[in-house]
Amino acid sequence: MVDADQTFVIVGGGLAGAKAAETLRSEGFTGRVILICDERDHPYERPPLSKGYLTGKTDREAVFVHEPAWYAQADIELHLGQPAVALDRAAKTVRLGDGTVVAYDKLLLATGAEPRRLDIPGTGLAGVHHLRRLAHAERLRGVLASLGRDNGHLVIAGAGWIGLEVAAAARGYGAEVTIVEPDPTPLHRVLGPELGQLFTDLHAEKGVRFHFGARLTEITGQDGMVLAARTDDGEEHPAHAVLAAIGAAPRTALAEAAGLALVDRADGGGIAVDASLRTSDPDIHAAGDVAAAEHPWLHTRLRVEHWANALNGGPAAARAMLGQEVSYDRVPYFFSDQYDVGLEYSGYAPPGSYDQVVIRGDAGKREFIAFWLREGRVLAGMNVNVWDVTEDIQRLIRSGDRLSPEALADPSVPLAAVPTA
């Protein structure tokens, strides 16, 4: 039973944590809500960091989840610039970096993820960047503008979503861009080879150079500044800046030290939670990038590092903390903007899980929907420059029905009326 004398503590000042705090209040919780953020900025959303804010199309204020005054108005106790350094489950306390000890009745871990680092010589040179935090985006935005003015070169390690979005932003500023990627196409482990080539062509048309089948082995410099990036096949690329975009690792140190159950890195890592986002400790929940949740109808454990998961997972965890029945069964969803291409992806279809890709529309014009099928059932769908179809795509995924591939590919057949096979 939840009462006004209880204290709910949220560790993590990203979207998941901020939306969880908002939900606790909107659901009527009148006890103390304490939100602990290791950054000095108020909670913000991360997609603009590689999209609108990085390209200069939106301003800094647009990234924040709430107006700064909202936290006081909602009676949220906000600790900015204070990392949580220790969790004592027996005493039910969290110790902060300044020595403050905060007691909790219920705890939410929304600690997010951190960029993976390049483990090669030269990463200490000025001009080596990561993109995860607002401060990273602020620095990188200035770097890209400078590279554009001076005809400078950016080398990006990794052709995932962050790498491609930063490449698009860099080309918008006029910078020269080379992407080094060990797989044969961009996004190979997300979209497979069938759709990966689409992004090779898109970026190549905009002047991006790709170096596939290779990894960075060294960043060389002079007087502390980046000069070039070398790969394991002996190539050397001129570089005035290097971006490491090789993925993110869940921030599980606090949970691990406290003895909470974790998921092996080989299986995606993260804090193991059930469908109500509860950890192995019944008084502790986890949400957002750090949570590896049992998915009720996908029958697998997923850790999803995307905006929609934080947006919806934080509120779901908050409701579960309040004792409500929660089964977090959202269809995984993310979106991306690159040049004049916008896309939305729903579902889960890693390479090897599907046996057919069906295209509806004109892939050559980059106006189409792709479906990943297994035995006629839709595992995932991606709409590219086609809008207002996400609900229909997710309905097809949830249905589990065997569908007619021919009807799926036929634009004259409404998605809501695709017949079963």
Mean pLDDT confidence for 48-72? 96
Amino acid letter, residue 233: D
One-letter amino acid for residue 79 of the chain = H
Which pLDDT tens digit goes with each residue over 300-316? 899 999 999 999 999 99
Instruction: Look at the block and give the residue holding tokens 């996400």.
Output: 390
CA 2 remoteness from chain centre: 32
Tokens of 361: 């529309």
CATH H superfamily, domain 7-114+249-321: FAD/NAD(P)-binding domain (3.50.50.60)
Query: What CA–CA distance (Å, rounded) separates 343 from 321?
Result: 34
In percent, the amount of the chain with pLDDT more than 90 equals 95
Assess whether pLDDT exceeds 80 at residue 241: yes
Q: Is the pLDDT of residue 1 over 70?
A: no
pLDDT value, residue 193: 85
Q: What is the DSSP string of 381-392?
A: EEEES--S-HHH
Reported as a single tens digit per residue, the pLDDT across 372-388 is 999 999 999 999 999 99
Question: 3-state class of 238 per DSSP?
Answer: strand
Whether pLDDT at 343 is above 80: yes
- Residues of the chain with pLDDT > 70, as a percent, come to 100
Question: CA-CA distance, 186 to 165, in Å (whole number)?
Answer: 12
Please, what is the average pLDDT of the chain?
A: 96
For residue 151, pLDDT over 80 is answered with: yes
Q: Tell me the per-residue pLDDT of 346-357, one tens digit each, with 9 for 90 and over.
A: 999 988 899 999
Q: Report whether pLDDT(4) > 90.
A: no
pLDDT of residue 192: 87
Identical fold for domains 128-246 and 340-417, yes or no, is no
Report which residue type is found at 117: R
The average pLDDT across 57-68 equals: 95
Give the β-pairing of 291-295 and 271-273. parallel
Residues 255-273: what's their mean pLDDT?
96
For residues 229 and 215, give the distance between their C-alpha atoms in angstroms, rounded to a whole number.
Answer: 10
Mean pLDDT for the stretch of residues 334-340: 96
Question: Distance between CA atoms of 302 and 289, rounded to whole angstroms?
Answer: 10
9 DSSP 8-state letter: E
Taking only the tens place, the pLDDT of each residue in 73-88 is 999 999 999 999 999 9
Cα angle, residue 129 at apex, residues 125 and 134 outer, rounded to 5°: 135
Q: Which residue has the higher pLDDT, 379 or 297?
A: 379
Of the candidate CATH numbers 3.40.710.10, 2.30.290.10, 3.40.50.2300, 3.50.50.60, the domain formed by 128-246 belongs to 3.50.50.60
* The two three-digit tokens of residue 97, written as one number: 């970096």
157-168 pLDDT, tens per residue? 999 999 999 999
CA distance 307 to 311: 6
- Please give the model's pTM, rounded to 2 decimal places: 0.95
**Domain positions in the chain:** 7-114+249-321, 128-246, 340-417
What distance in Å separates the CA atoms of residue 132 and residue 161, rounded to the nearest whole number? Answer: 12
At 378 the pLDDT is 97
CATH topology (fold) of 340-417 = Enolase-like; domain 1 (3.30.390)
